[in-house]
Amino acid sequence: MSKSPAIREFARRERPLSPHLTVYRPPITMTMSIIHRITGGALYFGTLLVALWLMAAASSQSTFDAVNWAFGSWLGRLVLFFYTWALMHHMLGGVRHLIWDTGAGLEKDTASRIAWATLAGSIVLTLLIWIAGYIAGYMARGA
């Protein structure tokens, strides 16, 4: 190949371009698969929080009160809220893969609908769990 600048410029323009994040839009099934892996990793850290709470409950009253105070703060509740969402999303993602393991729902449109249902279901379940928790806490204080 010639080293002429005109030939090099022509060769560079004729090559196919790779999809880039600014051009390529990932399908919902790929996005949910990535989020499924991320939530799986996040569950490790969230489970450490549950273990911390259990260890505090098994130790002194002051330690338990300190952990409860931390989890009851706005930041603690936010972390617990996202832990609940990660748990629900990962669970529903597992159900999605279980359905796929049976050979059902592998068509492109069906797989996309199931992926959207996983996202919507995890949000709805998280909100229902937290609403039920607040109602139970309210009723326990009122009794």
**Span 40-68, mean pLDDT?**
96
Per-residue confidence band for 12, with pLDDT thresholds at 50, 70 and 90: low
Q: pLDDT at residue 24 above 80? A: no
Angle between the 74-101 and 28-58 helix axes, to the nearest 10 degrees?
130
Least confident range from 1-10, 61-70, 84-93, 95-104: namely 1-10
- Higher pLDDT, residue 87 or 24: 87
Could you give the count of Cα atoms lying within 13 Å of 92 in the half-sphere of its Cβ?
21
- In order, the DSSP letters of 35-61 are HHHHHHHHHHHHHHHHHHHHHHHHS-H
The pTM assigned to this predicted structure is 0.81
**Span 7-34, mean pLDDT?**
73
Query: Distance between alpha carbon 126 and the CA centroid of its chain, in Å?
Result: 12
pLDDT for the residue numbered 143: 62
